[in-house]
Chain A
Amino acid sequence: QKEVEQDPGPLSVPEGAIVSLNCTYSNSAFQYFMWYRQYSRKGPELLMYTYSSGNKEDGRFTAQVDKSSKYISLFIRDSQPSDSATYLCAMSAFSASKIIFGSGTRLSIRP
């Protein structure tokens, strides 16, 4: 079993839709949870960061962490074609330590 599971997609939705991306994990020691966005032929870009359980909102993006269920989500509201990318969930047990990545979900927003 992988430490972090993420549906690879691809996921295709129309512009303006709400997108939900999810990951599950098995290591209860994880405390830091991140979402990275990776455009084609680019390095991953940090999108959202959350510590422990709870919600965090930044513009059209909301990250949720449920440690009791070992489940994290990223919601994108009013999705735009420019949101088309691969989204990677990532997590670590300690600050500034090794990060474990999900396999990434390829998202396409149709105009």
Chain B
Amino acid sequence: SAVISQKPSRDICQRGTSLTIQCQVDSQVTMMFWYRQQPGQSLTLIATANQGSEATYESGFVIDKFPISRPNLTFSTLTVSNMSPEDSSIYLCSVVRTRQSETQYFGPGTRLLVL
């Protein structure tokens, strides 16, 4: 498995502001993903964070709202921009160690509340 940490673990933000969430892995991984888990719902993939290039976004998610960086093989950030109460959610990063690996491991999540 991989040891994954996220910062912050939780935050309360005002609408219209932005929050950047960090994901740090204890070793190099091939793939990193960002998910959203809204209250009482399952996980929805936001985007795949690509090292050294633009992230690949899923339908319904755009770069202007959720800019993502991945400067190296152990670190990624997700920014939630111009927040509204609808962005209140848990944001999780996940990793896959190698392209032959069949499993994704998840970080502990960042609980975001937007007032």
Contact = CB atoms under 8 A, between A and B. Distances in A.
Interface of A: 6, 32, 34, 36, 41-46, 49, 51, 88, 95-96, 98-99, 101-104
A6 B43 CA distance: 13
A96 B31 contact: yes
A89 to B, nearest CB: 9
A103 B102 contact: no
Contacts of A36: 106
Interface in B63-114: 92, 96, 98-109, 111
A44 B30 contact: no
A96 B43 contact: no
B30 A96 contact: yes
Contacts of A104: 42
B45 interface: yes
Contact of A103 (B1, B42, B106, B109): B42
Interface of B: 1, 4, 30-31, 41-45, 48, 58, 92, 96, 98-109, 111
Contacts of B105: 46
A36 B103 CA distance: 11
Contact of B45 (A32, A42, A95, A99): A99
A46 B72 CA distance: 25
Contacts, number: 52
Contact of B43 (A51, A95, A101): A101
Given A6-B42, A95-B101, A96-B98, 11 more contacts: A42-B108, A44-B106, A46-B1, A46-B103, A88-B42, A95-B100, A96-B31, A96-B99, A96-B102, A98-B48, A99-B104
Contacts of A41: 109, 111
B102 A51 contact: yes
Contacts of A46: 1, 103-105
A51 B83 CA distance: 39
A103 B31 contact: no
A34 to B, nearest CB: 7
B42 A42 contact: no
A99 B99 CA distance: 14
B102 A98 contact: no
